[in-house]
Structure 1
């Protein structure tokens, strides 16, 4: 496994436009991102999304996020509980999690996704 390092200027700098968030059912959540080179068992990068909302089906992987800027409401599908998430927060969406994201102010996050083992 190799060491991965990204400077703060990369985290806060320009990202590549990717279009509207797939599955969006409110607003016009345009996304941008940059992926970093990382070991095969993990995906790692910066992701940004403009206001809008979408449901999340049962996750096939586990994602951990550090929120750099912005604000969103995450609704846990199993409990119906709403969480206001903003800059400085860390969230984990485990494999199997489902719910909803509603971005209130453009959100930017640093993420890692544990790639499931293929058997």
Structure 2
């Protein structure tokens, strides 16, 4: 029987160049924040890493097969659900963006977070 893959240690971004981007202009609601993503692990349908962002707000829409768990290391984010719900997540707290979530992602104070995204896209 083959051995399982080794455990991946996800602890540092030092010396790694992040991917830089901004929200798409058609999704912006406030600001035009710069975003930094350090992708530290990818395996099958899962990716994990560190993400940082300036203050701003943009619309998001998760497909039914994608979800994200994140843990805020520093800063403050606010998730606005399409039905009017609001969830604040601050340093030391984690949250899950569930499949099919639609709403807005707001960075209230510059944020840095660990993230794990699972994209269980059905195989055709």
Q: If the TM-score is normalised by the length of the shorter chain, which range does it land in?
A: 0.7 to 0.9
**1: distance between equivalents of 2:17 and 2:95?**
22
1:18 to 17, 20, 28: 20
| CA distance in 2: counterparts of 1:110 and 1:48, whole angstroms | 9
Instruction: Find the aligned partners of 2:55 and 2:15 in 1 and give their Cα distance.
Output: 19
Structure-to-structure mapping, 1:96-111, within 5 angstroms: 96-111=100-115
Given that 1:59 and 1:94 are in contact with CA atoms closer than 8 Å, whether structure 2 keeps it comes out as no
Structure number with bigger Rg: 2
Q: Secondary structure at the match of 2:57?
A: strand
Gaps of 5+ in 2: none
* TM-score (norm. length: structure 1): 0.84
What are the Cα deviations for residues 56-102 of structure 1, in whole angstroms up to 9, with x where unaligned? 12434010001111012211223x12122110111101111111111
Alpha-carbon RMSD: 2.1
The normalised TM-score by structure 2 is 0.81
Distance across 1 between alignment mates of 2:8 and 2:121: 21
User: Structure 2 vs 1, CA of residues 25 and 82 (structure 1 numbering), >3 Å: closer, same or farther?
Assistant: same
Q: What is the aligned length?
A: 116
